[in-house]
Amino acid sequence: MASRKTLACMSVLALVLAGLVATEHRAAAQASPGQAAAAVTVTAITEPSSRRGFTFNGLGVIDKVNVKEGDVVKSGQVLMIQDREIEQIELDRLNAEATSQARVEFAEADLELKKAVERRKTSGVAGVFSLAEQEEAKLDRISREKSLEIAKLDQSQNVLKAKQQEAKVVRMELRSRLDGIVEKIEAWEGEMTGADPSKPPIIVVKNDPMHIVIRDLTTQQVALLKLGDELEVKYPDEKNWQRAKISYIAPVADAGSNRQTIRLEMPNPNNRATGLEIQVKLPPKLAELMPGDRAAMNR
């Protein structure tokens, strides 16, 4: 009897152990898809959020380069200056004309003289001045009034010409239009610039924030995303994940490859260089649709 009871107990224990093992397998099976999906990554490339080539508005010889490649610059900072000696001389001449009141004052004085002559000839003293002389005095006064108007108009035009020349001189200073880093300088002191707008003498990039461009997602995967969604990213040589926000979804997909580009945006306060590879962790809903030959498993 003792032997039968022992066998029965062992049988029950075996069934319990089998149930526990089955339960653990089911739990592992349920957890593994999510875990695997969370570990699926794609390789993306970091890019500047802005890359601008700045050029002068007109032909000129560079007189001074104020920066060097790698320098951090601010918006509005003067990067280069063209030789503007001749243009500055012209500005000084126009400013002198714009600020001078000599012509206006001369016209005003001449008008007062003609008014006095007219009053004298039309004072009513009979027989002193003929009607022709009186009419001539009146016309002289009217002519001088028009001369004064013309002098004032010329004065206002001189002011505008001076402002126009000042703007021209200012534009011979090449200023940055963004906060960024000087990536490349293509022209130096003594070289002619402005002949070809497609070849800017200086290029500035903005790396903060940076863009992360992903080109390996299928259109089915991209359809599950929207602007503002966040994905986790990290550099291959780092352990910590960071969050980046979707800022752009390409409006046109590549029909041949069934791929659609998206772009993430991420703060980069340390101005880490762009153009580097970075890993993007896919959420489970995207990982399940990832082609096997495109996915990298990080465990």
CATH of the domain at 252: 2.40.30.170
- Boundary of a domain, candidates 171, 188, 211: 171
Measured CA to CA, the distance from residue 131 to residue 254 in angstroms comes to 92
**pLDDT higher at 36 or 87:** 87
- Boundary of a domain, candidates 147, 171, 195: 171
Residues belonging to the chain: 299
pLDDT band, residue 233 (cuts 50/70/90): very high
Q: Which pLDDT does position 292 carry in this prediction?
A: 61
Domain of residue 234, residue span: 35-51+203-297
289 within domain boundaries: yes
Q: Taking a C-beta distance cutoff of 8 angstroms, is the pair 260, 253 a contact?
A: yes
What residues form DSSP beta bridges with 174? 80
pLDDT digits (tens, 9 = 90+) for 27-40: 444 444 444 434 68
Measured CA to CA, the distance from residue 224 to residue 218 in angstroms comes to 10
4 within domain boundaries: no
Question: Global pTM?
Answer: 0.69
Q: Which pLDDT does position 194 carry in this prediction?
A: 82
Q: What is the mean pLDDT of residues 119-137?
A: 81
155 within domain boundaries: yes
Q: Which pLDDT does position 22 carry in this prediction?
A: 46
